[in-house]
A and B are shown apart, each in its own frame.
Chain A
């Protein structure tokens, strides 16, 4: 059940990315180009997503457990530290270089676009390098 609901949620997420236009890197770059012909669509995507999702958080606080899992697995970290800020800064630079973040990159995988596969391969490699780096830094 847990994996089936995850599959459905992933599919709805992918549908939302396509409907909103966020699967098109040129459109995302249009949002990030404040000084050019600006396309504010991404702000409306965030607004729509936040409005619906905030209601879910309110509902979650009234429940003891999710439907198909024993507990809510929520992030425990709450420090705003150098690692959070440096990582987010690097992510933003990569996002601006191409116009793709992880969700839209994966959502486009059935298009058969070679550049997209190259980007996703580099993304996985970058994540793996970061995991090596943080493991070494910790121990």
Chain B
């Protein structure tokens, strides 16, 4: 069954903007728009390598908030997990993306676009464990949300 929230048009449009941003960072600065790596290396990086990272990271909330101010908060925001689940999820996302060398943007968007087999493997694995985790939480243990 398909959810009524399904929004293919806005999904494609937003995806195209994400692709455009990744293209811009590549062609202007020669960098991969992988958010986990840019974040992880933003603090320890040498001076000359730090500022562009912080600028990119600052752009994320500014662009999202600016768009919401202009066009409204198109899809809303709901975060339901318990504090323990939030913290466990954050730790796993931080640990896993460093170990695996990328997240949804670095492996998923940039890696797949350049035809990297390594990124394809990573994307298939995190998609699979993401699906499995939600299946376990919602349909095996019946924990809701």
Contact = CB atoms under 8 A, between A and B. Distances in A.
Do A and B come together as binding partners?
yes
A90 B36 CA distance: 14
Contacts of B40: 127, 131
Nearest to A56: B23
Interface residues of A, number: 119
Interface string B24-59: 111111111101100110000000000111111111
B41 to A, nearest CB: 9
Contact of B78 (A3, A11, A26, A86): A26
Contacts of A40: 2, 6, 8
A106 B95 CA distance: 16
Contacts of B78: 24-26
Contact of B59 (A10, A25, A97): A10
Contacts of B79: 25-26, 98-100, 113, 115-116
Contacts of B90: 94, 98, 100, 105, 118-123, 125-126
B30 to A, nearest CB: 4
Contacts of A50: 15, 19, 109, 112-113
Given A6-B25, A19-B74, A131 B98 contact: yes
Interface string A80-113: 1001111111111111111111110111111101
Contact of A9 (B33, B61, B104): B33
A2 B8 CA distance: 34
Interface of B: 1-8, 10-33, 35-36, 39-40, 51-68, 71, 73-81, 83, 85-101, 103-105, 107-118, 121-123, 125-135, 137-139, 145
Given A2-B51, A49-B113, A123-B94, 20 more contacts: A6-B28, A9-B21, A38-B2, A38-B3, A46-B112, A53-B19, A66-B30, A67-B29, A78-B118, A91-B92, A94-B96, A95-B89, A97-B137, A98-B90, A98-B93, A99-B81, A102-B103, A121-B90, A125-B94, A127-B97
